[in-house]
């Protein structure tokens, strides 16, 4: 009887199945990373907009002037908006809000966020809030 070398068909099939599972997991991970990256970019934009509005208030601009200053930047955020309110005497609260696509692991909507017209079953509200001495 001759000595056989090589893998059996079952071993090759198991290896191909494992390779397919690994490839699928890699694609799913890449999609998650891309969504997280996009969400981080939107948050970074919101922080910059909020800081710009807060700085405008700190240097003595009115609420209307501060809002006008960042109005064009808000277009970069889907469903984006700005709310500046008096949180306490001498303290202003700057809220930048936007929406982003819902994912399967979304928690309940953040009720502290101002509502944008873009909130829907497929879009979740997000916001960045900071307080500044006015």
35-86 tens-digit pLDDT? 899 999 999 999 999 999 999 999 988 889 999 999 989 988 998 899 998 8
- What is d(CA 33, CA 5) in angstroms, rounded to the nearest whole number? 43
Query: Taking the model in full, what pTM does it have?
Result: 0.74
Q: Which of 37-51, 89-103, 111-125 has the lowest mean pLDDT?
A: 111-125
Q: Which residue has the tokens 């208030």?
A: 57
**Dihedral angle at the C-alpha atoms of 81, 85, 115, 69, nearest 10 degrees?**
0
pLDDT at 94: 92
- For residue 117, pLDDT over 60 is answered with no
Average pLDDT over residues 1-27: 88
What is the C-alpha separation between 6 and 15, in angstroms, rounded? 14
Asked whether 116 and 87 are in contact (CB, 8 A), the reply is no
Domain residue spans of the chain: 9-133
Residue with tokens 């981080």: 40
């Amino acid at each position: 009887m001759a000595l056989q070398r090589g893998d059996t068909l079952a071993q090759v099939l198991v290896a191909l199945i494992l390779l397919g599972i690994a490839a699928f997991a890699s694609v799913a991970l890449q999609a998650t990373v891309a969504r997280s990256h996009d969400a981080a970019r939107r948050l970074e934009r919101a922080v910059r907009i909020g800081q710009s509005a807060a700085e405008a208030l700190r240097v003595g601009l009115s609420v209307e002037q501060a809002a006008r200053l960042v109005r064009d930047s808000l277009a970069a955020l889907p469903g984006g908006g700005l709310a500046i309110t008096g949180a306490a005497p001498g303290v202003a609260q700057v809220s930048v809000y936007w929406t982003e696509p819902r994912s399967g692991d979304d928690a309940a909507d953040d009720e502290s966020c101002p509502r944008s017209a873009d909130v829907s079953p497929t879009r979740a509200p997000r916001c960045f809030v900071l307080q500044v001495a006015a």
